[in-house]
């Protein structure tokens, strides 16, 4: 059974600081997704990581994937208040179904 676990679940950080959100998944899967959700809003796709060693960057966010360690990271550089949101990672069950499994999310609050 595919499980996707994120940590931390909550993160409060000062503006200008760096931090990393971790996403572990429990079965072999070659694709990992990151989404952002603002309070009361829907989910917005941030990154799609398709292979081992993949790295994607957008502004102050950088995501990477290590399929051997079954780990993805979302690194935040010099955080700003606008990055406050909940971040989800997700992966596919590749055992022949199309189950798409989300982590429980990391609620990020950037303090001015």
Partner 1 sequence: VTQSSRYLVKRTGEKVFLECVQDMDHENMFWYRQDPGLGLRQIYYSMNVEVTDKGDVPEGYKVSRKEKRNFPLILESPSPNQTSLYFCASSATGVGDTQYFGPGTRLTVL
Residues that bind partner 1 (CB under 8 A): 31, 33, 41-45, 48, 50, 88, 90, 92, 97-105
Closer by beta carbon to partner 1, 48 or else 55: 48
Task: Give me the least distance between CB of 48 and partner 1, in Å please.
Answer: 5
Paired tokens of 19:
């931090």
Closer by beta carbon to partner 1, 98 or else 112: 98
Task: Give me the least distance between CB of 72 and partner 1, in Å please.
Answer: 14
Selection from 111, 99, 106, 95 nearest residue 36 by Cα: 106
Closer by beta carbon to partner 1, 84 or else 91: 91
Task: Give me the least distance between CB of 26 and partner 1, in Å please.
Answer: 14
Selection from 28, 30, 53, 41 nearest residue 88 by Cα: 41
Report the C-alpha gap between 80 and 66 in whole angstroms.
27
Report the C-alpha gap between 6 and 99 in whole angstroms.
18
């Amino acid at each position: 059974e595919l499980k996707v676990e994120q940590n931390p679940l909550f993160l409060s950080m000062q503006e200008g600081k760096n931090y990393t959100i971790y996403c572990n998944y429990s079965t072999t899967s070659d694709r990992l997704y990151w989404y952002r959700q603002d309070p009361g809003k829907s989910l917005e796709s941030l990154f799609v990581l398709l292979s081992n060693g993949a790295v994607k960057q957008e502004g102050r966010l950088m995501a990477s994937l290590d399929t051997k360690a079954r780990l993805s990271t979302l690194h935040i550089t010099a955080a700003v208040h606008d990055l406050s949101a909940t971040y989800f990672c997700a992966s596919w069950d590749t055992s022949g179904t199309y189950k798409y499994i989300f982590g429980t999310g990391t609620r990020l609050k950037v303090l001015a």
